[in-house]
Amino acid sequence: MNMNRETALRELSQGSPDLQRRAARVLGRWADDQVLSALIGALQSPHRAIREAATDTLLEIGDARTVRLLLPLLRSSVPAVRNSARLLLQGLAKAAPEILIDLSRDPDVRMRIFAANIMTESGDHDLAEPLLDMLNDADENVRDAAVVGLGRLGAPEAIHRLEAFATEGGSWTRFSAIDALSQIPSSEATRALVRLLKTVPAELQEPVVEALGRQGAPEAIASLLQKLFEAPSLGAAIIPVLSQMPASEVVDRLSAVDRPYLAAAISERLQENGQSPEVTAGSLELLGKLGVQVAGSIFIRWLANPQRRIQQAAIRAVHRLGLGELVPMLRQLQSQGDPLLAGEIQAAIDGIALSGKERA
Residue-level length of the chain: 360
**The pLDDT value given to residue 360:** 43
**What CATH number matches the domain at 96-181, 1.25.10.10, 1.10.150.240, 1.10.630.10, 1.20.1250.20?**
1.25.10.10
Closest CA to 296 of 258, 256, 267, 262: 267
CB 153 within 8 A of CB 180: no
Reply yes or no on domain 1-93 having CATH 1.10.10.10.
Answer: no
Burial 249-270 (b: 16+ CB within 10 A, else e): ebeebbeeeebeebbebbbebb
Q: How confident is the model at residue 358 (pLDDT cuts 50, 70, 90)?
A: low
Fold agreement between 1-93 and 96-181: yes
Q: How many CB atoms lie within 10 A of CB 38?
A: 20
Q: How confident is the model at residue 357 (pLDDT cuts 50, 70, 90)?
A: low
Residue 123, judged by CB atoms within 10 A of its CB (0-12, 13-18, 19+), counts as middle
Can you tell me the mean pLDDT for 114-139?
A: 97
Running DSSP on this structure, what letter comes out for residue 201?
A: -
For the stretch 94-125, pLDDT in tens is 999 999 999 999 999 999 999 999 999 999 99
Name the average pLDDT for the chain: 95
Residues 6+ apart with CB under 8 A from 157: 128, 129, 132
Q: How many CB atoms lie within 10 A of CB 336?
A: 9
* Full DSSP string of 93-116: GGG-HHHHHHHTT-SSHHHHHHHH
For the stretch 282-322, pLDDT in tens is 999 999 999 999 999 999 999 999 999 999 999 999 999 99
Angle between the N-to-C axes of helices 171-182 and 140-152, in degrees from 0 to 180, rounded to the nearest 10: 10
Cα–Cα distance, 327 to 229 (Å, whole number): 34
More confident call, 96 vs 171: 96
CB 217 within 8 A of CB 244: no
CB 125 within 8 A of CB 157: no
For the stretch 32-71, pLDDT in tens is 999 999 999 999 999 999 999 999 999 999 999 999 999 9
* Full DSSP string of 202-229: HHHHHHHHHHHHHHT-GGGHHHHHHHHH
CB 193 within 8 A of CB 181: yes
With a pLDDT cut of 90, the percent of the chain lying above it is: 95
3-state secondary structure of 170: coil
Domain boundaries, the chain: 1-93, 96-181, 232-360
Closest CA to 39 of 49, 51, 22: 51
